[in-house]
Amino acid sequence: MELLKNTLASIKPADEDAKKKAKERLDNLTKPIGSLGVLEEIVIKMAGITGNIHNKIDKRNIIVMCADNGVVEEGVSACPQYFTKILTENLIKGYTGVSVLSKLTGTDVTTVDIGVNGDITLKGVLNKKINYGTKNITKGPAMTRDEAIRAIEAGIEVADSSCKKGYDILGTGEMGIGNTTTSGAVLSIFSGLNPDATCGKGAGLTDEQFEHKKEAVEKAIEINKPDKNDPIDVISKVGGFDIAGMCGCFLSAAKNRKPIVIDGLISSAAALCAVRLNSLAKEYIFPSHLSKEPGAIYMMKEIGLKPMLDLEMRLGEGSGCPLAFQVIEAALYVMDHMATFEESTLDKDVLIDIR
Protein backbone atom coordinates (compact mmCIF):
# COMPACT_ATOMS: atom_id res chain seq x y z
CA MET A 1 0.00 0.00 0.00
CA GLU A 2 2.94 2.37 0.68
CA LEU A 3 3.99 2.49 -2.99
CA LEU A 4 0.46 3.32 -4.13
CA LYS A 5 -0.01 5.91 -1.40
CA ASN A 6 3.34 7.60 -2.12
CA THR A 7 2.71 7.53 -5.87
CA LEU A 8 -0.71 9.15 -5.49
CA ALA A 9 0.77 11.80 -3.20
CA SER A 10 3.68 12.57 -5.57
CA ILE A 11 1.62 13.48 -8.64
CA LYS A 12 1.95 17.18 -9.40
CA PRO A 13 -0.09 19.37 -11.75
CA ALA A 14 1.20 20.09 -15.25
CA ASP A 15 3.60 23.03 -15.70
CA GLU A 16 1.24 25.86 -16.73
CA ASP A 17 4.11 28.28 -17.44
CA ALA A 18 5.70 25.85 -19.93
CA LYS A 19 2.30 25.33 -21.57
CA LYS A 20 1.89 29.10 -21.95
CA LYS A 21 5.36 29.45 -23.49
CA ALA A 22 4.72 26.56 -25.88
CA LYS A 23 1.49 28.20 -27.01
CA GLU A 24 3.26 31.52 -27.55
CA ARG A 25 5.80 29.85 -29.83
CA LEU A 26 3.08 27.92 -31.70
CA ASP A 27 1.23 31.18 -32.29
CA ASN A 28 4.43 32.70 -33.69
CA LEU A 29 5.06 29.92 -36.22
CA THR A 30 4.34 30.79 -39.85
CA LYS A 31 0.77 29.48 -39.99
CA PRO A 32 -2.70 30.76 -39.19
CA ILE A 33 -3.22 30.62 -35.43
CA GLY A 34 -4.46 27.21 -34.29
CA SER A 35 -4.29 25.75 -37.81
CA LEU A 36 -2.38 22.64 -36.72
CA GLY A 37 -5.33 21.70 -34.56
CA VAL A 38 -4.76 18.69 -32.33
CA LEU A 39 -1.02 18.72 -33.11
CA GLU A 40 -0.86 22.05 -31.28
CA GLU A 41 -2.79 20.64 -28.32
CA ILE A 42 -0.29 17.78 -28.16
CA VAL A 43 2.71 20.14 -28.14
CA ILE A 44 1.15 22.22 -25.35
CA LYS A 45 0.24 19.17 -23.27
CA MET A 46 3.75 17.74 -23.66
CA ALA A 47 5.23 21.03 -22.46
CA GLY A 48 3.02 20.83 -19.39
CA ILE A 49 4.21 17.28 -18.72
CA THR A 50 7.96 17.81 -19.06
CA GLY A 51 8.25 21.52 -18.27
CA ASN A 52 10.14 22.05 -21.58
CA ILE A 53 8.67 23.63 -24.70
CA HIS A 54 10.83 21.49 -26.98
CA ASN A 55 10.52 17.74 -26.49
CA LYS A 56 11.91 14.75 -28.33
CA ILE A 57 10.94 11.10 -28.28
CA ASP A 58 13.85 8.75 -28.80
CA LYS A 59 12.76 5.75 -26.76
CA ARG A 60 9.24 4.30 -26.69
CA ASN A 61 7.84 1.44 -24.66
CA ILE A 62 4.45 -0.24 -24.51
CA ILE A 63 3.63 -2.17 -21.35
CA VAL A 64 1.22 -5.03 -22.07
CA MET A 65 -0.53 -6.46 -19.02
CA CYS A 66 -1.68 -10.04 -19.52
CA ALA A 67 -4.25 -11.69 -17.26
CA ASP A 68 -7.22 -14.03 -17.22
CA ASN A 69 -10.76 -13.26 -16.18
CA GLY A 70 -12.93 -15.78 -14.31
CA VAL A 71 -16.07 -14.33 -15.91
CA VAL A 72 -15.27 -16.19 -19.16
CA GLU A 73 -16.98 -19.24 -17.65
CA GLU A 74 -20.23 -17.33 -18.27
CA GLY A 75 -19.66 -17.57 -22.03
CA VAL A 76 -19.03 -13.82 -22.45
CA SER A 77 -16.21 -14.25 -24.98
CA ALA A 78 -16.01 -15.96 -28.33
CA CYS A 79 -12.65 -17.41 -27.30
CA PRO A 80 -11.64 -19.99 -24.72
CA GLN A 81 -9.56 -18.86 -21.75
CA TYR A 82 -6.40 -20.67 -22.84
CA PHE A 83 -6.09 -18.16 -25.73
CA THR A 84 -4.75 -15.60 -23.23
CA LYS A 85 -1.64 -17.66 -22.50
CA ILE A 86 -0.92 -18.42 -26.15
CA LEU A 87 -1.48 -14.79 -27.19
CA THR A 88 0.80 -13.63 -24.37
CA GLU A 89 3.52 -15.91 -25.71
CA ASN A 90 2.81 -14.59 -29.21
CA LEU A 91 3.57 -11.07 -27.99
CA ILE A 92 7.13 -12.17 -27.25
CA LYS A 93 7.40 -14.07 -30.50
CA GLY A 94 6.44 -10.88 -32.37
CA TYR A 95 3.31 -12.34 -33.99
CA THR A 96 0.65 -10.01 -32.59
CA GLY A 97 -0.75 -6.73 -33.92
CA VAL A 98 0.99 -4.62 -31.31
CA SER A 99 4.28 -6.45 -31.86
CA VAL A 100 4.24 -5.71 -35.58
CA LEU A 101 3.21 -2.05 -35.23
CA SER A 102 5.84 -1.61 -32.54
CA LYS A 103 8.52 -3.03 -34.79
CA LEU A 104 7.50 -0.60 -37.54
CA THR A 105 7.78 2.38 -35.22
CA GLY A 106 10.90 1.44 -33.24
CA THR A 107 8.91 0.76 -30.08
CA ASP A 108 9.86 -1.72 -27.36
CA VAL A 109 7.20 -3.94 -25.80
CA THR A 110 7.29 -5.09 -22.17
CA THR A 111 5.06 -8.14 -21.79
CA VAL A 112 3.89 -8.69 -18.22
CA ASP A 113 2.21 -11.77 -16.78
CA ILE A 114 0.14 -10.14 -14.05
CA GLY A 115 -2.44 -12.91 -13.78
CA VAL A 116 -2.47 -15.41 -16.62
CA ASN A 117 -4.12 -18.70 -15.73
CA GLY A 118 -1.08 -20.87 -16.38
CA ASP A 119 2.67 -20.75 -15.98
CA ILE A 120 4.54 -18.89 -18.68
CA THR A 121 8.11 -20.00 -18.92
CA LEU A 122 8.96 -18.20 -22.14
CA LYS A 123 11.97 -15.91 -21.67
CA GLY A 124 11.10 -12.24 -21.96
CA VAL A 125 7.76 -12.30 -20.16
CA LEU A 126 8.03 -10.33 -16.93
CA ASN A 127 6.56 -12.32 -14.06
CA LYS A 128 4.40 -10.12 -11.83
CA LYS A 129 1.68 -12.70 -11.35
CA ILE A 130 -0.79 -11.83 -8.60
CA ASN A 131 -2.91 -14.94 -9.12
CA TYR A 132 -3.93 -17.48 -11.77
CA GLY A 133 -6.73 -15.32 -13.18
CA THR A 134 -9.56 -13.60 -11.33
CA LYS A 135 -12.76 -15.17 -9.99
CA ASN A 136 -16.11 -15.03 -11.79
CA ILE A 137 -17.52 -11.53 -11.11
CA THR A 138 -21.12 -12.72 -11.54
CA LYS A 139 -20.67 -14.78 -8.38
CA GLY A 140 -18.56 -12.50 -6.16
CA PRO A 141 -15.52 -10.20 -6.24
CA ALA A 142 -12.90 -10.68 -8.97
CA MET A 143 -10.09 -10.48 -6.41
CA THR A 144 -9.39 -9.39 -2.87
CA ARG A 145 -8.73 -5.73 -2.07
CA ASP A 146 -5.17 -6.68 -1.19
CA GLU A 147 -4.70 -8.32 -4.60
CA ALA A 148 -6.06 -5.19 -6.33
CA ILE A 149 -3.57 -3.00 -4.49
CA ARG A 150 -0.70 -5.39 -5.23
CA ALA A 151 -1.68 -5.46 -8.93
CA ILE A 152 -1.78 -1.65 -9.12
CA GLU A 153 1.60 -1.53 -7.37
CA ALA A 154 3.02 -4.12 -9.79
CA GLY A 155 2.00 -1.74 -12.60
CA ILE A 156 3.66 1.17 -10.81
CA GLU A 157 6.87 -0.86 -10.45
CA VAL A 158 6.96 -1.84 -14.13
CA ALA A 159 6.33 1.74 -15.33
CA ASP A 160 8.76 3.22 -12.76
CA SER A 161 11.40 0.88 -14.13
CA SER A 162 10.61 1.95 -17.73
CA CYS A 163 10.99 5.59 -16.72
CA LYS A 164 14.34 4.79 -15.06
CA LYS A 165 15.50 3.09 -18.26
CA GLY A 166 15.05 6.41 -20.06
CA TYR A 167 11.91 5.83 -22.10
CA ASP A 168 10.48 9.16 -23.25
CA ILE A 169 6.93 7.90 -23.70
CA LEU A 170 4.94 4.89 -22.50
CA GLY A 171 1.98 3.06 -23.97
CA THR A 172 -0.46 0.69 -22.32
CA GLY A 173 -1.96 -2.52 -23.62
CA GLU A 174 -3.43 -5.79 -22.45
CA MET A 175 -4.14 -9.36 -23.31
CA GLY A 176 -6.93 -11.16 -21.52
CA ILE A 177 -9.87 -13.07 -22.86
CA GLY A 178 -13.04 -11.65 -21.27
CA ASN A 179 -11.62 -8.23 -20.47
CA THR A 180 -14.14 -6.25 -22.51
CA THR A 181 -16.72 -7.59 -20.02
CA THR A 182 -14.80 -6.36 -16.98
CA SER A 183 -14.16 -3.01 -18.73
CA GLY A 184 -17.88 -2.63 -19.46
CA ALA A 185 -18.64 -3.30 -15.80
CA VAL A 186 -16.06 -0.74 -14.60
CA LEU A 187 -17.52 1.86 -16.98
CA SER A 188 -21.11 1.13 -15.92
CA ILE A 189 -20.20 1.76 -12.30
CA PHE A 190 -18.30 5.01 -12.81
CA SER A 191 -20.72 6.43 -15.39
CA GLY A 192 -24.01 5.01 -14.11
CA LEU A 193 -24.73 3.90 -17.68
CA ASN A 194 -26.58 0.69 -18.42
CA PRO A 195 -24.58 -2.28 -19.86
CA ASP A 196 -26.54 -1.69 -23.11
CA ALA A 197 -24.37 1.41 -23.56
CA THR A 198 -21.11 0.21 -22.03
CA CYS A 199 -20.81 -3.27 -23.57
CA GLY A 200 -19.99 -4.37 -27.08
CA LYS A 201 -19.26 -7.64 -28.79
CA GLY A 202 -15.56 -7.58 -27.90
CA ALA A 203 -13.56 -10.02 -29.98
CA GLY A 204 -16.87 -11.21 -31.53
CA LEU A 205 -20.16 -12.65 -30.25
CA THR A 206 -23.51 -13.76 -31.68
CA ASP A 207 -26.49 -11.52 -30.80
CA GLU A 208 -27.63 -14.09 -28.26
CA GLN A 209 -24.21 -14.29 -26.58
CA PHE A 210 -24.09 -10.49 -26.55
CA GLU A 211 -27.39 -10.30 -24.64
CA HIS A 212 -25.97 -12.77 -22.15
CA LYS A 213 -22.78 -10.67 -21.76
CA LYS A 214 -24.83 -7.61 -20.81
CA GLU A 215 -26.82 -9.69 -18.31
CA ALA A 216 -23.54 -10.91 -16.82
CA VAL A 217 -22.37 -7.32 -16.29
CA GLU A 218 -25.69 -6.42 -14.68
CA LYS A 219 -25.45 -9.43 -12.40
CA ALA A 220 -21.85 -8.66 -11.44
CA ILE A 221 -22.84 -5.13 -10.38
CA GLU A 222 -25.92 -6.36 -8.54
CA ILE A 223 -24.02 -9.03 -6.61
CA ASN A 224 -20.89 -7.01 -5.79
CA LYS A 225 -22.35 -3.51 -5.34
CA PRO A 226 -19.02 -1.72 -5.96
CA ASP A 227 -18.59 1.72 -4.44
CA LYS A 228 -18.06 4.16 -7.32
CA ASN A 229 -16.27 6.54 -4.95
CA ASP A 230 -13.66 3.91 -4.17
CA PRO A 231 -11.81 2.92 -7.39
CA ILE A 232 -9.93 0.13 -5.60
CA ASP A 233 -13.27 -1.37 -4.58
CA VAL A 234 -14.44 -1.15 -8.21
CA ILE A 235 -11.25 -2.82 -9.52
CA SER A 236 -11.31 -5.58 -6.92
CA LYS A 237 -14.98 -6.38 -7.38
CA VAL A 238 -15.52 -6.22 -11.15
CA GLY A 239 -12.12 -5.38 -12.69
CA GLY A 240 -9.16 -7.52 -13.59
CA PHE A 241 -5.44 -7.78 -12.89
CA ASP A 242 -4.73 -6.27 -16.33
CA ILE A 243 -6.89 -3.22 -15.59
CA ALA A 244 -5.27 -2.83 -12.16
CA GLY A 245 -1.75 -3.15 -13.60
CA MET A 246 -2.37 -0.58 -16.32
CA CYS A 247 -3.96 1.72 -13.73
CA GLY A 248 -0.63 1.55 -11.87
CA CYS A 249 1.22 2.43 -15.08
CA PHE A 250 -0.85 5.61 -15.55
CA LEU A 251 -0.18 6.67 -11.96
CA SER A 252 3.55 5.98 -12.27
CA ALA A 253 3.84 7.98 -15.51
CA ALA A 254 2.13 10.96 -13.87
CA LYS A 255 4.45 10.71 -10.86
CA ASN A 256 7.51 10.52 -13.16
CA ARG A 257 6.21 13.35 -15.40
CA LYS A 258 6.24 11.13 -18.48
CA PRO A 259 3.58 11.03 -21.19
CA ILE A 260 1.55 7.81 -21.34
CA VAL A 261 -0.85 6.67 -24.05
CA ILE A 262 -4.20 4.86 -23.78
CA ASP A 263 -4.97 2.25 -26.44
CA GLY A 264 -8.56 0.99 -26.59
CA LEU A 265 -11.47 0.13 -24.37
CA ILE A 266 -9.62 -1.83 -21.71
CA SER A 267 -6.74 0.57 -21.20
CA SER A 268 -9.38 3.32 -21.06
CA ALA A 269 -10.99 1.48 -18.15
CA ALA A 270 -7.61 1.47 -16.41
CA ALA A 271 -7.03 5.16 -17.18
CA LEU A 272 -10.47 5.95 -15.79
CA CYS A 273 -9.59 4.17 -12.54
CA ALA A 274 -6.29 6.09 -12.37
CA VAL A 275 -8.01 9.44 -12.95
CA ARG A 276 -10.59 8.62 -10.27
CA LEU A 277 -7.74 7.83 -7.85
CA ASN A 278 -6.01 11.13 -8.65
CA SER A 279 -7.58 13.53 -11.16
CA LEU A 280 -4.16 15.10 -11.93
CA ALA A 281 -3.14 11.87 -13.71
CA LYS A 282 -5.26 13.04 -16.66
CA GLU A 283 -2.72 15.76 -17.45
CA TYR A 284 -0.14 13.07 -18.39
CA ILE A 285 -2.43 10.86 -20.48
CA PHE A 286 -2.90 10.89 -24.26
CA PRO A 287 -5.69 8.70 -25.66
CA SER A 288 -4.61 7.24 -29.01
CA HIS A 289 -7.69 6.25 -30.99
CA LEU A 290 -11.41 5.82 -30.51
CA SER A 291 -12.00 2.09 -30.25
CA LYS A 292 -14.93 0.72 -32.26
CA GLU A 293 -16.29 -0.82 -29.04
CA PRO A 294 -19.43 1.21 -28.24
CA GLY A 295 -18.35 1.89 -24.65
CA ALA A 296 -15.19 3.66 -25.79
CA ILE A 297 -16.87 7.00 -26.40
CA TYR A 298 -18.29 7.02 -22.85
CA MET A 299 -14.87 6.08 -21.47
CA MET A 300 -13.45 9.19 -23.14
CA LYS A 301 -16.29 11.33 -21.76
CA GLU A 302 -15.74 10.02 -18.24
CA ILE A 303 -11.96 10.55 -18.42
CA GLY A 304 -12.50 13.94 -20.08
CA LEU A 305 -10.07 13.43 -22.97
CA LYS A 306 -10.38 13.29 -26.75
CA PRO A 307 -8.65 10.61 -28.87
CA MET A 308 -6.41 11.86 -31.67
CA LEU A 309 -7.35 9.13 -34.17
CA ASP A 310 -10.44 7.23 -35.28
CA LEU A 311 -9.38 4.21 -37.30
CA GLU A 312 -12.29 1.90 -36.37
CA MET A 313 -9.81 -0.37 -34.62
CA ARG A 314 -10.94 -2.79 -31.89
CA LEU A 315 -7.96 -5.02 -31.29
CA GLY A 316 -6.56 -3.93 -27.96
CA GLU A 317 -3.06 -5.19 -26.96
CA GLY A 318 -1.78 -1.60 -27.07
CA SER A 319 -2.01 -1.56 -30.87
CA GLY A 320 -3.18 2.07 -31.03
CA CYS A 321 -0.13 3.32 -29.10
CA PRO A 322 2.56 3.07 -31.80
CA LEU A 323 0.26 5.02 -34.14
CA ALA A 324 -0.29 7.73 -31.54
CA PHE A 325 3.46 7.91 -30.92
CA GLN A 326 3.91 8.82 -34.58
CA VAL A 327 1.34 11.60 -34.39
CA ILE A 328 2.88 12.93 -31.17
CA GLU A 329 6.35 12.84 -32.73
CA ALA A 330 5.04 14.69 -35.81
CA ALA A 331 3.62 17.40 -33.53
CA LEU A 332 6.92 17.79 -31.67
CA TYR A 333 8.87 17.87 -34.94
CA VAL A 334 6.73 20.71 -36.26
CA MET A 335 7.34 22.68 -33.06
CA ASP A 336 11.10 22.25 -33.49
CA HIS A 337 11.43 22.82 -37.20
CA MET A 338 8.85 25.34 -38.43
CA ALA A 339 10.09 28.92 -38.59
CA THR A 340 8.56 31.78 -36.65
CA PHE A 341 7.29 34.93 -38.41
CA GLU A 342 10.38 36.80 -37.22
CA GLU A 343 12.73 34.10 -38.54
CA SER A 344 11.00 34.06 -41.92
CA THR A 345 10.56 37.86 -42.09
CA LEU A 346 6.81 37.63 -42.66
CA ASP A 347 4.41 40.16 -41.16
CA LYS A 348 2.25 38.32 -38.61
CA ASP A 349 -0.02 41.30 -37.94
CA VAL A 350 -1.97 40.78 -41.17
CA LEU A 351 -3.49 37.58 -39.71
CA ILE A 352 -6.88 37.49 -38.04
CA ASP A 353 -7.35 34.93 -35.27
CA ILE A 354 -10.51 33.00 -36.26
CA ARG A 355 -10.51 30.38 -33.50
Ligand X SMILES: Cc1cc2ncn([C@H]3O[C@H](COP(=O)(O)O)[C@@H](O)[C@H]3O)c2cc1C
Active-site option among 293, 302, 317, 329:
317
Among 44, 67, 114, 177, binds ligand X (CB under 6 A): 177
53 binds, among ligand X, ligand NIO, none (CB under 5 to 8 A by kind): none
- HSE at residue 194, side-chain half, CA atoms within 13 A, is 3
What is the maximum alpha-carbon separation in the chain? 70
Q: Return d(Cα 321, Cα 207) in angstroms, integer.
A: 30
Beta carbon of residue 311, minimum distance to ligand NIO (angstroms, whole number): 11
The residue with its CB nearest to ligand NIO is 264
Residue number with CB closer to ligand NIO (193 or 334)? 193
- Binding string, residues 116-155; x marks residues near ligand NIO by CB under 6 A: ----------------------------------------
Among 176, 248, 295, 322, binds ligand X (CB under 6 A): 176
Question: Does the annotation count 317 as an active-site position?
Answer: yes
Beta carbon of residue 178, minimum distance to ligand NIO (angstroms, whole number): 10
Identify residues 171-190 at the interface with ligand NIO (CB under 6 A): 180
- Residue 78 in the binding site for ligand NIO (CB under 6 A): no
Beta carbon of residue 172, minimum distance to ligand X (angstroms, whole number): 12
**Burial grade of 256 (CB within 10 A; 0-12, 13-18, 19 or more):** buried
- Residue 338 in the binding site for ligand NIO (CB under 6 A): no
The residues near 240 (Cβ < 8 Å, ≥ 6 apart) are 67, 69, 115, 134, 142, 176, 178, 179, 182
- Residue 291 in the binding site for ligand NIO (CB under 6 A): yes
Beta carbon of residue 184, minimum distance to ligand X (angstroms, whole number): 9
Q: Is 66 in a helix, a strand, or coil?
A: strand
Distances (CA, A) of 19 to 62, 119, 331: 26, 46, 14
265 binds, among ligand X, ligand NIO, none (CB under 5 to 8 A by kind): ligand NIO
What's CA 286's distance to the chain center, in Å? Answer: 8
Beta carbon of residue 316, minimum distance to ligand NIO (angstroms, whole number): 3
Among 233, 283, 293, 329, binds ligand NIO (CB under 6 A): 293
- Residue 245 in the binding site for ligand X (CB under 6 A): no
- Residue 239 in the binding site for ligand NIO (CB under 6 A): no
Own/partner contacts of 3-9, CB < 8 Å, gap of 24 or more, are 3/153, 3/156, 3/157, 4/149, 4/152, 4/153, 4/156, 4/248, 4/251, 7/156, 7/248, 7/251, 7/252, 7/255, 8/251, 8/277, 8/278
314 binds, among ligand X, ligand NIO, none (CB under 5 to 8 A by kind): ligand NIO
The residues near 120 (Cβ < 8 Å, ≥ 6 apart) are 85, 88, 89, 113, 127
Residue type, 138: T
Among 55, 181, 224, 268, binds ligand X (CB under 6 A): 181
Beta carbon of residue 203, minimum distance to ligand NIO (angstroms, whole number): 5
- Binding string, residues 306-335; x marks residues near ligand X by CB under 6 A: ---------xxx------------------
Identify residues 48-87 at the interface with ligand X (CB under 6 A): 77, 79, 83, 87
With contact defined as beta carbons under 8 Å apart, do 162 and 61 qualify?
A: yes
Among 22, 175, 254, 272, binds ligand X (CB under 6 A): 175
The DSSP-derived string for 188-229 is HHHH---HHHH---TT---HHHHHHHHHHHHHHHHHH---TT
Count the neighbouring beta carbons within 10 Å of the beta carbon of residue 35: 12
- As a whole number of Å, the CA-based R_g of the chain is 20
User: What residue ranges bind ligand X (CB under 6 A)?
Assistant: 77, 79, 83, 87, 174-181, 202-203, 315-317
Hey, which residues are catalytic here? 317
